[in-house]
């Protein structure tokens, strides 16, 4: 049994990734890619602390749910369709059974008592802040999955989040309204009487909840993370999350029906506990879908996970010089500025090492980050004054940390002499070469 487990582990962790899919037919190639995606998704899920992230989102949701619904209620009320909020909330809490209706009624009472018009400027500001903090928490969780350490700037966060809060309820209502209109349309009713077309339409109508929920998840995966997510990857994650969420809802509803013992034990608290469990499962489903989206988009990088995400010292130096060269080249030739997404596409690396390198170059005052909605990068000073040795030093050294450690590290004269010769060799080899000289030496178009 131990040998079997070891062989399976070796296959999924090593052998599976070395198979050349081009030497197999389409079906076998698809199966190999599917196995890779499943293994990578499970690995990222177990190593990504997603369960802890889901628990954190549950806590934030409890604080932000009423302000979020109150804000959405106000937006929908401006269009005269605020009554659509109630069935939407009941539908979300339907897996809780009768307890879900009870919670929905309580939440709606709180929402009705939260009158935006009489809150005053400070009260309204706190309401908006609470709602924004929920979306920011979601962004942090998705950025964690996508290995993005930097969130949106405050200005982008405010504008993007407000757009989501204002447009989101309208899109949801529009989708529900269109669905209801199509279902009640006279032409559709006539088509229902025609077989087998009628059976197909009925089946499609049963799939509408899955399609709608999957579309919502896809929308979140594209819009919320602070990186460029391909539509196909977001759609795959959205479809998996949508089907999983509906399936979990069905299973959870069955669990609630048979949980009379918990009601007897916890009494009135049983409703709250079930509500928190359902919130946890919902957030965990969203994070699982995001995990699948990330793995699908970055599958070729995950085959060499350690090499891709933990670059060697030599590769860090090369990446620093390469990024500095690209930024200097476009600046000198008056081309489009580089952004994180364009660098990821051009270099064929995942965002994490590129973002780390950009941050390092910014901290060393070699490049600056613009304050545009999508930040771009420019040289911090004239590229004729930026020496190549400075760039290597930015990748090799963190002076504050190095000095602190060096003061505590025992010194051996012979070892220090070797390292000094290495530094002298680098300085001698590079001389006075600058980014400008490197750009001018490049004869081909970048």
DSSP 85-114: HHHHHHHHTGGGTHHHHHHHHHHHHHHHH-
For residue 422, the model assigns a pLDDT of: 77
Chosen domain end from 250, 278, 302: 302
Chosen domain end from 275, 302, 329: 302
Q: Alpha helix locations (H) across 298-398?
A: 299-302, 305-309, 313-332, 340-347, 351-363, 388-396
- How far is 50 from 141, CA to CA, in rounded Å? 8
Quick one: 261 and 359 in the same domain? no
**Other Cβ atoms closer than 10 A to 349:** 19
Residue 34 domain-assigned?
yes
* SS3 of residue 80 by DSSP: coil
What is this structure's pTM? 0.71
For residue 190, the model assigns a pLDDT of: 59
Residue 164 domain-assigned?
yes
Question: At 414, which CATH number?
Answer: 1.10.10.10
**Prior bond of 196 cis (ω within 30°):** yes
DSSP 411: -
Quick one: 250 and 207 in the same domain? yes
- How far is 338 from 377, CA to CA, in rounded Å? 6
Quick one: 323 and 273 in the same domain? no
**Other Cβ atoms closer than 10 A to 375:** 18
For residue 250, the model assigns a pLDDT of: 83
Quick one: 200 and 346 in the same domain? no
Residues of the chain with pLDDT under 50: 306-308, 399-401
Using CA atoms, how far residue 25 sits from 37, 39, 158, 300, 446, in Å, is 18, 21, 49, 19, 36
Pairing mode of beta strands 338-339, 367-369: unpaired
Residue 170 domain-assigned?
yes
Question: C-alpha angle with apex 189: 184 to 192, nearest 5 degrees?
Answer: 130
Alpha carbon 293 to chain centroid distance?
9
Residue 234 domain-assigned?
yes
- How far is 173 from 52, CA to CA, in rounded Å? 32
Quick one: 100 and 217 in the same domain? yes
- Report the sign of the C-alpha dihedral through residues 375, 380, 381, 386, in that order: negative
Number of domains in the chain: 3
Quick one: 141 and 289 in the same domain? yes
Of 14, 44, 92, the residue nearest 279 (C-alpha): 92
- How far is 403 from 137, CA to CA, in rounded Å? 36
Quick one: 43 and 57 in the same domain? no
Quick one: 92 and 231 in the same domain? yes
Domain that holds residue 31: 2-47
Quick one: 163 and 222 in the same domain? yes
Q: Which strands sit side by side in the sheet containing 338-339, from one edge to the other?
A: 338-339, 376-379, 367-369
Quick one: 121 and 231 in the same domain? yes
Residue 446 domain-assigned?
no
Chosen domain end from 249, 284, 302: 302
Report helix angle 197-223 to 154-184, nearest 10.
Answer: 170
Q: Contact at 8 Å (CB) between 443 and 329?
A: no
Q: Which helix (H) or strand (E) holds 339?
A: strand 338-339
- How far is 222 from 135, CA to CA, in rounded Å? 14
Quick one: 17 and 88 in the same domain? no
- How far is 51 from 45, CA to CA, in rounded Å? 9
- Copy the structure tokens of residue 71: 């804000």
DSSP 369: E
Quick one: 323 and 382 in the same domain? yes
- How far is 142 from 279, CA to CA, in rounded Å? 17
Q: What is the DSSP string of 12-34?
A: HHTGGGG--GGGS-HHHHHHHHH
- How far is 279 from 243, CA to CA, in rounded Å? 17
Q: Contact at 8 Å (CB) between 341 and 354?
A: no
């Amino acid at each position: 049994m131990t040998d079997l487990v070891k062989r399976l582990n070796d296959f999924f962790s090593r052998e599976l990734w070395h198979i050349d899919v081009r030497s197999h037919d389409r079906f076998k190639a698809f199966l190999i890619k599917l196995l890779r995606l499943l293994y990578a998704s499970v690995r990222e899920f177990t190593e990504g602390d997603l369960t802890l992230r889901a628990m954190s989102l549950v806590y934030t949701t409890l604080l932000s749910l009423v302000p979020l619904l109150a804000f959405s209620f106000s937006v929908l009320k401006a269009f005269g369709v605020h009554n659509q909020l109630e069935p939407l909330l009941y539908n979300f809490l339907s897996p809780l059974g009768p307890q879900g209706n009870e919670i929905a009624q309580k939440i709606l009472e709180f929402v009705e008592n939260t009158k935006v018009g009489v809150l005053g400027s400070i009260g309204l500001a706190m309401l908006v802040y609470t709602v924004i903090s929920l979306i920011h928490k979601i962004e942090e969780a998705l950025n964690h999955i996508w290995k993005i350490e930097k969130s949106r700037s405050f200005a982008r966060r405010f504008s993007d989040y407000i757009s989501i809060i204002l447009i989101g309820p309208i899109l949801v209502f529009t989708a529900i309204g269109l669905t209801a209109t199509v279902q009640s349309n006279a032409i559709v009713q006539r088509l229902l009487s025609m077989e087998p077309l009628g059976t197909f339409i009925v089946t499609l109508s049963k799939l509408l909840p899955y399609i709608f929920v999957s579309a919502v998840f896809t929308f979140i995966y594209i819009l919320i993370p602070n990186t460029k997510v391909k539509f196909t990857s977001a759609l795959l994650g959205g479809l998996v999350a949508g089907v999983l969420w509906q399936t979990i809802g069905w299973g959870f509803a069955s669990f609630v029906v048979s949980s009379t013992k918990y009601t007897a034990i916890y009494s009135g608290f049983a409703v709250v506990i079930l509500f928190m469990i359902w919130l946890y499962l919902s957030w965990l489903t969203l994070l699982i879908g995001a995990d699948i989206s990330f793995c699908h988009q970055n599958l070729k990088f995950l085959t060499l996970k350690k090499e891709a995400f933990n670059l060697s010292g030599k590769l860090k130096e090369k990446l620093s010089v390469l990024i500095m060269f690209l930024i200097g080249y476009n600046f000198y030739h008056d081309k489009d500025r580089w952004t994180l997404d364009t660098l990821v596409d051009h270099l064929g690396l995942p965002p994490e090492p590129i973002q780390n390198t950009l941050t390092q170059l910014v901290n060393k005052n070699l490049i600056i980050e613009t304050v545009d909605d999508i930040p771009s990068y420019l040289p911090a000073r004239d590229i004729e004054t930026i020496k190549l040795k400075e760039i290597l030093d930015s990748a090799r050294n963190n002076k504050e940390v190095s000095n602190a450690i060096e003061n505590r590290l025992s010194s051996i004269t012979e070892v220090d002499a070797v390292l000094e010769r290495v530094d002298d060799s680098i300085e001698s080899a590079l001389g006075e070469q600058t980014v400008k000289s490197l750009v001018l030496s490049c004869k081909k178009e970048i």
